[in-house]
Structure 1
Amino acid sequence: MSTVITSREFNRDVSAAMRAAEYGPVTITDHGRPSHVLITAGEYNRITGRDELVGDRLWRNQDPTIEFDLPSRRIEPERNFDQ
């Protein structure tokens, strides 16, 4: 089951949309039409077949013409938050 919310509702309570995405895709509408779908990172990785960190993707795709020093990578354990 997919949750549907307006872009206004999304902007008002992003945290609620993120919680809803834990149970399935959240369709965000703009003027009554679907415009975006919010899913968890885990679901995105499952769909795309990728299981990489965003930082790894940034390191791999650096444009040498752009001066941008990325900090050293450090991987921290996942944090559990109260729900």
Structure 2
Amino acid sequence: MTTTTLTSREFNQDTSRARKAANEGPVIITDRGRPAHVLLSIEEYRRLTGKGMSLLEALAQTDEGSDFEFDPPKMGGGWLKPVDFE
């Protein structure tokens, strides 16, 4: 994974470079020499946050042949109980 650093001016002048660099690793955008923002690919963001694609996002996909994994979390905690009909 490669980390790229761009000034805010460089980012504004060449966003396609920043987007390409984000596919290789985080892009740190500086403001007056200090790190101010980080640009990540959506895959990296989801990996870091532990969030997968939501059902809404999956249904909103427009690309034919788009493939995704939908693995809803298991519900636990003993909330299912036998019914007592008496």
TM-score (normalizing by structure 2): 0.63
Partner of 2:12: 11
2:63 corresponds in structure 1 to 77
Runs of 4+ in 1 over 3 A off after TM superposition: none
Q: Where in structure 1 are there 5+ consecutive unaligned residues?
A: 58-72, 79-83
RMSD: 2.4
Query: Partner of 1:24 in structure 2?
Result: 25
Structure 2 stretches lacking a partner, 5+ long? 65-86
Larger Rg, first or second structure (1 or 2): 2
What fraction of aligned residue pairs are identical, expressed as a percent?
48
Tell me what 1:63 maps to.
none
User: 1:66 maps to what in 2?
Assistant: none
C-alpha deviation, 1:77, in angstroms? 1.8
Task: State TM-score, norm by structure 1.
Answer: 0.65
Distance of aligned partners of 1:28 and 1:74 in 2 relative to their CA distance in 1, 3 Å threshold = closer
Q: Report how many residues are paired.
A: 63
